[in-house]
Structure 1
């Protein structure tokens, strides 16, 4: 039944995953799972090499003839052939020619590993670079928990493939520390209520996603409430503007005493303060231009005449005082004569 399923090449549970030269790390993990699902002895043949029954003779080990093999040893030796068949079935033609001359499944596997992962020196360099990336790992601005989990898992898987090991508590602490300040209350709550040594990484990310959904829901409600308040405030502002405009028009039709202003202006009811005639005001007085303004000399002459008149008045007033004094003396003389 499984053979009739519409799976493409490399996507069936009965076929090894296809490798075309790209994403070797992904293919490597899938191949290991596929081989172990068939028999653990297949993966053992790749890790430890081809098994051949031997016997000791004169202090050295010699391969036994095939006719002397037991059924158990024959089965164990056959795992290498099965592994070679699986590897070659999973490769395209270009990758197949890389390993077609290899004698064992282990040799094939090592050839592919060195080709796509590099030598041990290259692996160590990549391992140090990934460790530094792991230590500097931080949540990016605007990044979701799902995106954080994807980047974090990618780094951890690559490090584990290079024989770097992590314990559960170390990974959980790293995840909580990489979050930004908005997550601080949740980080504190998880640290105090959960045992980080027993909590799996997947469970921790699940709890963080739950909190993220709750935060998004509250943000939507807050934004909706803010938009509603802003709309109400805008409506109130428009109504208040209309109210002020309406009252301003009413006030313009009244004087300061509250009486209604007359819209008809009749100049015949006013008297000019310039010429004293009726029918116009001073600003529109026709006699205003006929008045001759005094020149500078006339102003100066008037000033002199006023000064001279002021001097003459002062002299006349002083002479009158002298006359009164003389009269007073004469009167005193008369009084003295009469007394004598």
Structure 2
């Protein structure tokens, strides 16, 4: 019978440590799904499917999220803060799916999703070269700064509700 080499012993020790660490991180409610796994690799594969779903399910989630991104529109009467939160959740979902968008593409999509009453603000921001490099959060700051101007323009037209009707 062959005796294990130092490398074999190191691999077994590392596997045991990884097995223990992964097991400790699993919620007690979900521990029963990994209890019969024989290796850390098997635990990892089981947990990945359990939490992320199959590849087909992941593909469907990605398609839905891309559609949400491409079809993003501000809802009538929605505050800029809530609109930003909604769009940011879409960006987070995309980044979780490893779908990275450039700052420029993300910024333009958010601006294009704004209502008609934001046209002047959109033109100002799109005409500025920094729209290419501006972070998503700084764009939100720019929109907040422009909000009072936009609200004044809307008030002169009969208010936001007049634009929606």
Which TM-score applies when normalising by structure 1? 0.39
Residue of structure 2 equivalent to 1:132? 67
Instruction: Report SS of the residue matched to 1:186.
Output: helix
Residue of structure 2 equivalent to 1:179? 114
Greater C-alpha radius of gyration:
1
Instruction: Report SS of the residue matched to 1:65.
Output: coil
For structure 1, the 5+ residue unaligned runs are 1-63, 223-340
Write 1 or 2 for the structure with the bigger share of helix. 2
For structure 2, the 5+ residue unaligned runs are 156-165
Residue of structure 2 equivalent to 1:168? 103
Residue of structure 1 equivalent to 2:26? 91
Superposition pairs of residues 239-254 of structure 1, within 5 angstroms: none
Give 1:180 deviation, angstroms.
0.7
Give 1:129 deviation, angstroms.
1.7
Residue of structure 1 equivalent to 2:7? 69
Give 1:79 deviation, angstroms.
5.4
Question: Structure 2 CA distance, aligned partners of 1:103 and 1:146?
Answer: 48
Instruction: Report SS of the residue matched to 1:131.
Output: helix
Question: Structure 2 CA distance, aligned partners of 1:165 and 1:216?
Answer: 31
Give 1:82 deviation, angstroms.
4.3
Give 1:216 deviation, angstroms.
8.4
Give 1:172 deviation, angstroms.
1.0
Give 1:136 deviation, angstroms.
1.1
Give 1:80 deviation, angstroms.
4.7
Instruction: Report SS of the residue matched to 1:140.
Output: coil
Question: Structure 1 CA distance, aligned partners of 2:26 and 2:131?
Answer: 42
- Is 2:34–2:43's contact at 8 Å kept on the other side of the alignment? yes
Question: Structure 2 CA distance, aligned partners of 1:99 and 1:174?
Answer: 42
Is 1:198 the counterpart of 2:140? The answer is: no
Which of the pair has the greater relative contact order for Cα pairs under 8 Å at 6+ separation?
Answer: 2
Residue of structure 2 equivalent to 1:207? 142
| RMSD of Structure 2 on Structure 1 (CA) | 2.9
Instruction: Report SS of the residue matched to 2:132.
Output: coil
- For this pair of structures, how many residues does the alignment match? 152
Q: Deviations over 1:58-106 (max 9, x none)?
A: xxxxxx934x239xx94x8765544433332233322011112223434
Residue of structure 2 equivalent to 1:144? 79
Q: Deviations over 1:267-326 (max 9, x none)?
A: xxxxxxxxxxxxxxxxxxxxxxxxxxxxxxxxxxxxxxxxxxxxxxxxxxxxxxxxxxxx
Residue of structure 2 equivalent to 1:108? 43
Instruction: Note closer, same or farther for the CA distance 1:104–1:208 as it changes in structure 2 (3 Å cut).
Output: farther
Question: Structure 2 CA distance, aligned partners of 1:111 and 1:98?
Answer: 8
Instruction: Note closer, same or farther for the CA distance 1:102–1:138 as it changes in structure 2 (3 Å cut).
Output: same
Q: Deviations over 1:144-179 (max 9, x none)?
A: 122112111212222222232212211111011000
Question: Structure 2 CA distance, aligned partners of 1:207 and 1:90?
Answer: 41
Between 198-207 and 96-105, the greater mean CA deviation after superposition: 96-105
